[in-house]
Amino acid sequence: MTLLTAVAADGFFAAVAAMGFAVISNPPKKVLFTAGALAAVGHMVRFALLREDVGIASASLCAALLISLCSMPCARRWHIPAEMFVFPALLPMIPGMFAYKTILAIMQFLGAAAISLRQELLVDIVYNGLTAFFIMCALAIGAVLPLLAFHRESSLGRGIRKLWRRESGKG
């Protein structure tokens, strides 16, 4: 499978998953397809960054930022909150496998008697748990930061625009 095919397949399956999650809230069709397209783009960016040896948390942050930034023009155009696009698009990037491996290692740790096995399991618990935590933090920060910074009514957005005008000599 070529790189382009792998990236396209990753984006397609992310879009299907995002649209499946979006259907739960019974949105208009334009929201459904836009969330799928945003998920595909974000997941393809994350996939490409992972192939370039960027860490999974950093790649997830970049993908979440891109999804959030791209959702804002759609939200303005259709007068729908950007969160309707962002959250379904981010759901395929939730680190379920890392969380599952953490819980599995915890259960094995509780039943293990050998010290050496417990030490190995403890390393797995910490690694997988912290990885899941940092990915979730990256997704949350990447989703919320652009919405806070660039939303018209946010005080942070007003402060940034005021600073921008002052720096550019327009205010």
Count of domains observed in the chain = 1
Q: What is the DSSP letter of 52?
A: T
Mean pLDDT of 72-93: 90
The length of the chain is 171
Residue 35 to residue 33: CA distance in whole angstroms: 5
Q: How far is CA 140 from the centre of its chain?
A: 7
162 pLDDT exceeds 70? yes
pLDDT digits (tens, 9 = 90+) for 89-119: 999 999 999 999 999 999 999 999 999 999 9
Per-residue model confidence (pLDDT) at position 157: 67
Residue 15 to residue 37: CA distance in whole angstroms: 6
Q: What is the mean pLDDT of the chain?
A: 91
CA-based nearest residue to 147, from 92, 74, 94, 46: 74
The pTM for the full model equals 0.85
- Side chain identity, residue 163: L
- Side chain identity, residue 51: R
pLDDT digits (tens, 9 = 90+) for 57-66: 999 999 999 9
CA-based nearest residue to 80, from 144, 38, 18, 32: 32
Mean pLDDT of 50-62: 96
User: In terms of residue numbers, what domain contains 101?
Assistant: 3-168
Mean pLDDT of 56-75: 95
pLDDT digits (tens, 9 = 90+) for 3-19: 889 999 999 999 999 99
> How sure is the predictor about 28, in pLDDT bands with cuts at 50, 70 and 90?
confident
Region of residue 53 (phi > 0: left; psi between -120 and 50: alpha; otherwise: beta): left
